[in-house]
Amino acid sequence: MLIKTNTGLRSSEVTDEVIFQERRDSLRLIGGIMALGVAGVAKGGTVDQAASMARQDALAASNERLTREQDIAHYNNYYEFSFYKAPPSELAQAMQVEPWVLEVGGLVENPLTLSIDDLLRLFPPEEQIRRIRCVEGWSGVVPWLGFPLFHLLKKASPLSFGKFVKFTSVMQPETMPNQRDQKMLPWPYVEGLRLDEAMHPLAMLAVGMYGKKLLNQNGAPIRLVIPWKYGFKSIKAIVKIEVTDSLPLTSWNQVAPKDYGFYANVNPEVPHPRWSQATERPLGSAFYSPRRKTELFNGYAEEVAHLYAGMDLRQLF
């Protein structure tokens, strides 16, 4: 599992009551996902146990603590709903997430139109614990449920001159106040990756977290998780994935290109024009606890650094 393996954490620290409870939850979670229509993983308890054991091992091997689910669920950057962190957890309940159609198109051989049930059948979700680091300087460790993006892309089969992947979020002005009032960003929200980035096994499409379906405020029903990039790259509520031959114009990059680059790789050595990125504040951390040192590529350098070989990360931030 790919959380960083910097040791220094006693296993007693991660095997506390909360984590144990989360293990129990994770057993239930997989049950829930199966109820969503995943017949393929239905091998009974052994798979569930394997998943929770894997989580246990991953946490024990790293010096990480899982972020509390309540913190991840009530501290959200979801600008379609609100510019504050707390309101989306309530406002997003009005969102329509069923039925949902995900289109995969652009420069591909087999354009696809899939429901969430189709996706779950084709790509059985697995639990992956990933670090998330926001460009604002806070971070978390989240057990996502999802599948690698390249599985879906391979099925659509990008054409040889496809170079980028563009992701488009849902347009739902009737439930999203800031879309209705056309505030701040050009809606719908758009993100993008280079095709080789999108094909990396760490690039994930998530449908759940903490053993349950994704909550609306966390990007239901399907979102991107790119753990080595700042959180705004991990677009929520995706309706369209297109392979393109030119660099997609992404939302934050369009509004403030000097502040938010296309790559947005986590990098402590490249400060934001107005603030340092050297350290981060893990969500839910106690008063007087030191800030965490931010790592290059958010700790996933070993896996992804080769994608950027020879690139000036200060220029292409």
**Total residues at interface with other proteins (CB under 8 A):** 35
Q: State yes or no: residue 161 binds other proteins (CB under 8 A).
A: no
Q: Determine which residue in the list 284, 301, 305, 307 makes contact with other proteins, applying CB under 8 A.
A: 284
- 79 touches other proteins (CB under 8 A): yes
The yes or no reply on residue 287 touching other proteins (CB under 8 A) is yes
Given the complex with other proteins, which of 177 and 284 has the nearer CB atom? 284
Of 274, 310, 314, 315, the one binding other proteins (CB under 8 A) is: 274
Alpha carbon 39 to its chain centroid, in Å, reads 25
Mapped onto helix, strand or coil, the DSSP state of residue 27 is helix
What's the Rg (C-alpha) of the chain? 19
Binding flag, residue 18, other proteins (CB under 8 A): no
Residue 8 interacting with other proteins (CB under 8 A): no
At 277, which amino acid appears? Q
- Let me know: does 68 contact 140? Beta carbons within 8 Å: no
Structural contact between residues 125 and 33, judged by C-beta atoms closer than 8 angstroms: yes
Nearer to other proteins, 240 or 281 (CB): 281
Q: Shortest Cβ distance from residue 89 to other proteins (Å)?
A: 10
Q: Is the peptide bond before 99 cis (omega within 30 degrees of 0)?
A: yes
Residues 82-111 that bind other proteins (CB under 8 A): 83-86
- CA–CA–CA angle 40, 1, 284 (5° rounding): 105
For residue 90, what is the enclosing H or E element? helix 88-91
Among residues 136 and 303, whose Cβ is nearest to other proteins? 136
Q: How many CB atoms lie within 10 A of CB 162?
A: 19
| Contact status, residue 219 vs residue 236, Cβ threshold 8 Å | yes
Q: How far is the CB of 88 from other proteins (least distance, A)?
A: 12
| Residue nearer to other proteins on the CB measure, 42 or 255 | 255
Is 72 a binder of other proteins (CB under 8 A)?
Answer: yes
Candidates 185, 199, 198; CA nearest to 259 is: 185
Residues in touch with other proteins (CB under 8 A): 70-72, 74-75, 79, 83-86, 135-136, 138, 184-185, 255-256, 259, 271, 273-279, 281, 283-285, 287-291
